[in-house]
Structure 1
């Protein structure tokens, strides 16, 4: 077993989830992302496997959003989050100040779809898009 696979299994055990395969493949290939993505020119951060437990615990996301797993965000208050209340878990955007799941803004059904559409659409902010 590789070191990254061990870290991914640690995350899965810690949160009691099974990470989607496309996300596992992404983390095996990259340590994360932190950049403006053209042509949408929105800022995208995707955290490394080593950061996942700490980031999720620091924000107390499990308390406010049971079944959530934050994997990145916009570099500010908005967090890209898997919603493990559903299977397969879609990606949603959650404000760090939100109280509950009612504030979730759907982004994509998978990381693959999200990464394919993000350069053109950037963040989806809801009805006003």
Structure 2
């Protein structure tokens, strides 16, 4: 089957539905408890639904991507979406098993969005750091929804940390954090690379450091400040810079 033989769709789901999909090996959708299973051919529409519906309802929401054979989707007329120029596919509940039979590859969790972080987390983190975190970072994580992890449209995988998770990483990386005074580990690539703030400076720059980094000298600039990082993540254009030059 060639790429022209299938279509990419996106769907916003809550934790319960994602858990069922995961238990099915990311290869099948559960039968819906509503008349139809809905998905959209536009990622932006799924993201908006996730942040406006699923995150407020459950504190977390996910945008998932999957491929479906066109020969199956061609049997259904797209319906107008909630905004002009948008549309969605509505698969009757009794046809979802057939939809599953026409999935191409695995269902992919593409983005994870979270609800507001409690002020107490920030207070505990700042007490441990002995320094305040940037107000822009606090505002972002205290907002109605924020990008927790996944692939922005740039295709770069990024993972952001809550203040509590940040403190856990500081504890696990204790010896190295001693060689990076003023560090705040706010994210990373989910592997060896940490996105960090240098809180000794105002505004605090966003830098990339490896788990084997001996100190600030080897840190690679990523953004002038956390506001710029947030803008790049929200716009989907964020990419890691690995060149110190």
Shorter-normalised TM-score: what interval? 0.7 to 0.9
1:24-61 CA distance string (max 9 Å, x none): 011212476110111x2001100112212111111124
1:35 to 150, 171, 183: 150
User: Which one is further off, 110-119 or 47-56?
Assistant: 110-119
Give the whole-Å Cα distance in 1 for the aligned partners of 2:192 and 2:130. Answer: 25
Instruction: Give 1:45-64 correspondences, 5 Å limit.
Output: 45-60=159-174, 61-64=176-179
Residues 1:75 and 2:176 are matched in the alignment: no
Look up the match of 1:95: 210
Structure 1 segments unaligned to the other structure (5+ residues): none
TM-score by length of 2: 0.48
Look up the match of 2:41: none
Look up the match of 1:123: 240
Change (3 A) 1:53 1:127: closer
Aligned residues between the structures: 126
Higher strand share: 2
1:55-80 CA distance string (max 9 Å, x none): 11111242121111101101111100
Give the whole-Å Cα distance in 2 for the aligned partners of 1:58 and 1:114. Answer: 25
Structure 2 segments unaligned to the other structure (5+ residues): 1-116
Q: Which has the larger radius of gyration?
A: 2
TM-score by length of 1: 0.87
Give the whole-Å Cα distance in 2 for the aligned partners of 1:111 and 1:36. Answer: 19
